[in-house]
Chains A and B, each alone.
Chain A
């Protein structure tokens, strides 16, 4: 049942992906500017330029170029990067694990922090605790993640040098890992020193990414919890003799989570989008940083491959959100 639902949703995503691919392909080619201009050495003959165009298929018509690209894309070949002359697929797959780990850690921090703040604010409703939670959420939302990241660098990287401000791992640790998922691999192999080193590198970028989402979750979940605490089942639980904290966490929280997921879910995709900038700020070797380099160098094959990658990520996040509704709300389960 569940497998069928997932499969159905993935099939529905195929037209979206094709649409994104066509759109990006056309847009990238109708804008002015020669994509191979940067590679042309000074004093190259027009013949050389023509050969370079032919090498990347740029001498053909746009539909012909697309047909060629799509034919290769379905086999997982997204062409060759113009600036690095490596395979686009290889470049992206090499960087993807770093971004996925960062996104996972940031989402985890956002959920834990957001839920903790919402529960605290509900428990202290009408008192100073609630005011503090509201003020924090307001401030965290007003300051963009870009500035949070920079503030962390100055605060915990320079003034109080606790954490590394660049990269993903100490070079010696990175070499020891055989997969791209350095954090997960070192945890699985019980190499806690290595895991700690990677975590120290990831903590600031992940927190900067997480703060706006955490504030959003705290705000929406708190409002939703307040509504649930007025429901009869919450009153009944108090009459039964459960403590207010127990009523919030064990009774109201899952009910309040359902509207919260639908209202803040789209923010998770914004968090993924935010990696582009945060990775740049922290020199973190993920696909976001790669994307900025690709854009600056107008590396068309790489830009296309990255946009498709982001589109796939967004589709998967939406699928996960969709499935989480059924996990949270038994009324949505069938059978």
Chain B
């Protein structure tokens, strides 16, 4: 492993309460400003990696071996309190924009709370920054949107709000957990373009979790392919697209819906064996 990368995961293994391993000996690195794709079918353990990095593993899961270093600082074994004290180097763009916004709070409250907590901004300064961020994600009339409740916004709008919030405190690394899966196909493309645009402007590294290799090809520089909690392939995205080595990766490509022909779902070799 080459050192000095922003995120460095080494030989990480995670098990559920019963002892079943959901991640086995996973190693990967993300350089500062890089977009790294994390691909696999559902249940492959890719979201578990994201949650381990963010420190929000489900109560039943625990790290049994390995390390997660962010900027050289070990995150495994760090208490939640120490993590909070460490500051806002991490952020999350969640999968479901409906359940990721609290239905009982206005957008303004949900965007400014993190700025007031992390950047110690005053209420007025946080509101001004939220308005600027909403403009940055191409929302018209940001001031009006800030006064709305989540149920008054469309799915695409909500995801824009969440993307703007993720960038609010200038994080070093953003975990994007299937950020387009819950959206319509047309909205998916817009959101993907928006994430790429924001990433370029802010130079933030992104760990991009998805089951869709087509999306990876569009946005990522490097990619890790995961099957049943273990890595099967890891390479620059251009290599993987051109010459997928592992049969599972090839099967994933075959399962990626293409817009030029009717969706043909073939069973994946690895899934059938499982």
Contacts and interface: CB of A to CB of B under 8 A. Distances in A.
> Do A's and B's CB atoms come within 8 Å in the complex?
yes
Interface of A: 125-126, 231-233, 235-244, 251, 254-255, 328-331
Nearest to A242: B117
Interface in B29-85: 54-56, 59, 80-81, 83-84
B95 A331 contact: no
A196 B87 CA distance: 47
A251 B102 contact: yes
Given A241-B114, A255-B102, 12 more contacts: A232-B96, A232-B99, A236-B94, A236-B162, A238-B56, A239-B90, A239-B92, A240-B113, A241-B84, A241-B118, A242-B113, A330-B149
Contacts of A235: 56, 92, 94, 100
B252 interface: no
B98 to A, nearest CB: 8
Contacts of B87: 241
Interface residues of B, number: 31
What 3 A-B pairs have minimum CB-CB distances, sorted nearest first? A232-B100, A240-B114, A233-B102
A331 B153 CA distance: 12
B138 interface: no
Contact of B80 (A231, A236, A237, A244): A244
Interface in B105-150: 105, 110, 113-114, 117-118, 149
Contact of B54 (A126, A239, A244): A239
B103 interface: yes
B91 interface: yes
A277 B83 CA distance: 53
A244 B83 CA distance: 12
B103 A241 contact: no
B99 A231 contact: yes
Of the candidates A231, A233, A328, the one having the most CB atoms from chain B within 10 angstroms of its own CB is A233
B199 interface: no
A318 B102 CA distance: 27
24 contacts: A125-B59, A232-B95, A233-B101, A235-B56, A236-B94, A237-B102, A238-B56, A238-B80, A239-B56, A239-B90, A239-B91, A240-B91, A240-B113, A240-B114, A240-B117, A240-B118, A241-B87, A241-B88, A242-B117, A243-B80, A244-B80, A329-B104, A330-B103, A331-B149
A304 B87 CA distance: 66
